């Protein structure tokens, strides 16, 4: 079974803090994604990566950055957390580079609260 592991299930941070959300997958998947999920807004893509050291902006990249130094690890960074970044963050990976790119495996999520 594919396992996507997010290091922290629950985090509480203060406004202005730097926040790191870590995600590791164990199936040698090429593609990794970061989404946030908010009530009424659904899942929104923040960043994605199709290869090591490669990243592309999703729909809402403002206030976020990412790092992919190794194939299995994709980190989401909030340089200066703000209250509007309080959300559920979901990491996902997928194996295929073609039309099956949308066959995602999700981690359990990291619920971030920014005070």
Contact footprint for another protein (CB under 8 A) = 33, 35, 40-45, 48, 50, 56, 58-59, 90, 98-109
Q: Which is nearer to another protein, 43 or 77 (CB)?
A: 43
Tokens of 54: 């490669």
Q: Which is nearer to another protein, 17 or 44 (CB)?
A: 44
Closest approach, Cβ 78 to another protein, in A, equals 20
Q: Which is nearer to another protein, 17 or 111 (CB)?
A: 111
Q: Which is nearer to another protein, 28 or 108 (CB)?
A: 108
Residue 53 CB-half CA count within 13 A: 0
Closest approach, Cβ 3 to another protein, in A, equals 12
Closest approach, Cβ 100 to another protein, in A, equals 7
Closest approach, Cβ 115 to another protein, in A, equals 22
Tokens of 112: 């971030």
- Buried-state track 79-100, b at ≥16 Cβ within 10 A, e below 16: eebeeebbbebbbbbbbeeeee
Residue carrying structure tokens 């809402």: 60
Cα gap 46→34, rounded to integer Å: 6
């Amino acid at each position: 079974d594919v396992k996507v592991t997010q290091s922290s299930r629950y985090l509480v941070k203060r406004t202005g803090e730097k926040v790191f959300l870590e995600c590791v997958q164990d199936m040698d998947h090429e593609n990794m994604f970061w989404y946030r999920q908010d009530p009424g807004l659904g899942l929104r893509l923040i960043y994605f990566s199709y290869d090591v050291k490669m990243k592309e902006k999703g729909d809402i990249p403002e206030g976020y950055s990412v790092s992919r130094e190794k194939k299995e690890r994709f980190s989401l960074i909030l340089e200066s957390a703000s209250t509007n970044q309080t959300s559920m963050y979901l990491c996902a990976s997928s194996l295929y580079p073609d039309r099956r790119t949308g066959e995602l495996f999700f981690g359990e999520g990291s619920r971030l609260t920014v005070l």
